[in-house]
Homo-oligomer: A and B are copies of this chain.
Amino acid sequence: MSTPFRLELKVRDYELDMQGIVNNGVYFNYLEHARHEFLLDKGVDFAALAEQGIHLVVIRSELDYKASLKSGDRFVIEVEAERLSKVKFGFRQRVIRLSDEKVCVEGLVIGTALNERGRPYLSPAIESLFEV
Contacts and interface: CB of A to CB of B under 8 A. Distances in A.
A19 interface: yes
Instruction: Summarize A's interface: helix, strand, loop or mixed.
Output: mixed
A115 interface: no
A87 interface: no
Contacts of A47: 13, 16, 18, 20, 70-72
Contacts of A63: 60-61
A24 interface: yes
B13 A14 contact: no
A18 B71 contact: yes
Contacts of A60: 62-65
Given A13-B36, A72-B47, A59 B64 contact: yes
A87 to B, nearest CB: 15
A55 interface: yes
Nearest to A111: B65
A111 to B, nearest CB: 9
Interface in A32-70: 32-33, 36, 40, 45-47, 50-51, 55, 57-66, 70
Given A19-B55, A59-B64, 15 more contacts: A13-B17, A13-B32, A13-B33, A13-B36, A13-B47, A18-B18, A19-B50, A24-B58, A25-B32, A28-B28, A47-B70, A60-B63, A60-B64, A60-B65, A61-B63
